[in-house]
Structure 1
């Protein structure tokens, strides 16, 4: 059957090594020692949500918790602060994954924005409950930047799965 021009493209299966590689790259980007500013987007959270939406059976809440613990240890934060935020973020992404894929990338970004806001709010509330300092109002920009990066992340992370647009003898699918 020939697909119409406006239809979404068929994707190859996701390579588990590529998923792991992208998660490690997201972790390393968050660990770059440029000084953590409240407005900086959390790249690891963005990659986790992306893979929770596109591959919920391979990347789930457990992996989000483990990566959250790694970020807690690296940032010297309260142990479990980011783990809790990432776990709830992953749960929300898995809950939305069937519905979210029907929308365009811009609409998807608007749908994941409340997830990013909730994760940021949870991390800040936990920090404030144990006597931490208020990071300032610039932290409101982080979820907005993460949602703005959603289409770019989708283009980069789905690129290895794209099929050839016109099959020939060397590309049968």
Structure 2
């Protein structure tokens, strides 16, 4: 079920891929480890997979994950696995999310972000023994706030 926007038209592929590109560029900004920032690629992937699952799917999530792995210098496939699981969850929830308000959607989406974060932290721990900082576990909440902003835009 493709949902039209306010003007009654479906978003074009150019809009979808442009928003994903802007999310990638946002993630490429070197904020450092001092402040927790949301993973905008994950948020935008969940948004498009939840509302237009036929246009953005698991392959796009996997490719964006590989690009994020190469950029961050992490284990190849780490973000790809997390984004693929995240997209699968969003596609599974897409019919349910259409019926709820943005706040209720956020409550249902935050556990998906938590699963994605746990996958990345677990792979990082297994590969090099690195433990995530304490604020890293609050990241799904920041992703939920970003979900509200992305849904509003």
Q: Does 1:153 align with 2:142?
A: no
Unmatched tracts of structure 2, length 5 or more: none
Give the match for residue 84 of structure 1: 81
Q: Greater Rg, structure 1 or structure 2?
A: 1
Q: Distance in 1 between matches of 2:7 and 2:94?
A: 17
Contact preservation (8 Å) 1:38, 1:142: no
After the TM superposition, which parts of structure 1 deviate over 3 Å for at least 4 consecutive aligned residues? 8-11
Q: Distance in 2 between matches of 1:115 and 1:143?
A: 8
Task: State the SS of the aligned residue for 1:35.
Answer: coil
Write the deviation string for residues 73-126 of structure 1: whole angstroms up to 9, x where unpaired.
000000000000000000000000001110000000000000000000000001
Q: Distance in 2 between matches of 1:38 and 1:130?
A: 24
Cα distance change on mapping 1:113 and 1:119 into 2, 3 Å = same
Cα distance change on mapping 1:88 and 1:37 into 2, 3 Å = farther
Unmatched tracts of structure 1, length 5 or more: 1-7, 157-173
* RMSD of aligned residue pairs (Cα, Å): 1.6
Give the match for residue 122 of structure 1: 119
Cα distance change on mapping 1:68 and 1:47 into 2, 3 Å = same
Say how many residue pairs are matched. 149
Normalising by structure 2, we get a TM-score of 0.92
126-135 or 87-96, which deviates more: 126-135
Task: State the SS of the aligned residue for 2:128.
Answer: coil
Q: Does 1:54 align with 2:51?
A: yes
Structure ranking higher in helix proportion = 2
Normalising by structure 1, we get a TM-score of 0.82
Task: State the SS of the aligned residue for 2:132.
Answer: coil
Write the deviation string for residues 128-149 of structure 1: whole angstroms up to 9, x where unpaired.
0112411211012211011112
Q: Distance in 1 between matches of 2:133 and 2:46?
A: 25
